[in-house]
Amino acid sequence: DTGVSQDPRHKITKRGQNVTFRCDPISEHNRLYWYRQTLGQGPEFLTYFQNEAQLEKSRLLSDRFSAERPKGSFSTLEIQRTEQGDSAMYLCASSLSPLEERDGYTFGSGTRLTVV
Amino acid sequence: SQQGEEDPQALSIQEGENATMNCSYKTSINNLQWYRQNSGRGLVHLILIRSNEREKHSGRLRVTLDTSKKSSSLLITASRAADTASYFCATMFSGGYNKLIFGAGTRLAVHP
């Protein structure tokens, strides 16, 4: 297992289009997280899963955002009717639950979304 | 919303010097973690300190936690140019939540 993979690395889309990102976590990790990061800021929590169950979704997340984790493996994050304000780096992370000593989250390299 | 706040926002030092970054947070925590992010890349976990711990070391990293002041510090000793990155503290609330809330980060530049 080489870590958390995200696809695509970059996405440019026109305003109003739908986009979908994929995240493949570390296989033995049962928790998966999505964060969004804009320039000069820290990652902002969006949602997380334990296995296939979506346990929490940020109230900052509009109805245009939806995430799934079928079968508790990979996850997808879809943004419908994209807006310029959605331009950001979308980061996926995975972890064991509960956290073991010295363990933290393992992050992917992110998907950079640009809405034009 | 971001509950941790790092100080300073930016830090510029020479190789060999020590770098100290501080983090303050607002509510009770289970643990606090520090991450590093190189430009345009994902975050890398550096160290985790639990609420009942006061200090931890990992190589050239030293982290302290003062729960009475709701603050933590990260010390990088004998810094190298390769330490140039953004450093984020992240807190995990006590009370059953299990997600990290990140601060805005400290941008560290180490000059050769």
CB contact under 8 A, B105 and A42: yes
Residue A7 pLDDT:
97
**Predicted confidence band of residue A99 (pLDDT cuts 50, 70, 90):** low
CB contact under 8 A, B45 and A105: yes
What distance, in Å, lies between the first and last C-alpha atoms of chain B?
Answer: 36
Pairing of strands A10-13, A111-115: parallel
What pLDDT digit, counting tens, does each position of B10-33 carry?
Answer: 999 999 999 999 999 998 898 999
CB contact under 8 A, A108 and B42: yes
Residue A61 pLDDT:
81
3-state secondary structure at position B52: coil
Q: Average the pLDDT over each of A39-48, A69-78, A98-107 and give the range with the smallest value.
A: A98-107
* B33 vs B101: CA distance, rounded Å: 10
**Separation in Å, CA of B45 to nearest CA in chain A:** 6
What pLDDT digit, counting tens, does each position of A3-14 carry?
Answer: 999 999 999 999
CB contact under 8 A, A109 and B88: no
What pLDDT digit, counting tens, does each position of B59-96 carry?
Answer: 999 999 999 999 999 999 999 999 999 999 999 887 65
Look at residues B72, B60, B71 and name the one whose alpha carbon lies nearest to residue B110.
B60
Name the token pair of A104. Answer: 């933290």
**Separation in Å, CA of B13 to nearest CA in chain A:** 20
Q: How many residues does chain B have?
A: 112
Residue B1 pLDDT:
46
Buried b (16+ CB within 10 A) or exposed e, B42-81: bbebbbbbeeeeeebeeeebbbbbeeeebbbbbebeebee
* A75 vs A23: CA distance, rounded Å: 5
* A63 vs B93: CA distance, rounded Å: 26
Neighboring chain A residues of B102 at a CB cutoff of 8 Å: 35, 42-45
Neighboring chain B residues of A51 at a CB cutoff of 8 Å: none
CB contact under 8 A, A104 and B33: yes
Q: Check if B78 contacts A (Cβ < 8 Å).
A: no
What pLDDT digit, counting tens, does each position of A80-94 carry?
Answer: 999 999 999 999 999
What pLDDT digit, counting tens, does each position of A27-62 carry?
Answer: 989 899 999 999 999 999 999 999 999 988 998 788
* A109 vs A111: CA distance, rounded Å: 7
Compute the C-alpha angle A107/B29/A45, nearest 5°. 35
* B101 vs B32: CA distance, rounded Å: 10
Q: What single-letter DSSP state applies at residue A21?
A: E
Neighboring chain A residues of B88 at a CB cutoff of 8 Å: 42-43
> Is it the case that residue A101 has pLDDT exceeding 90?
no
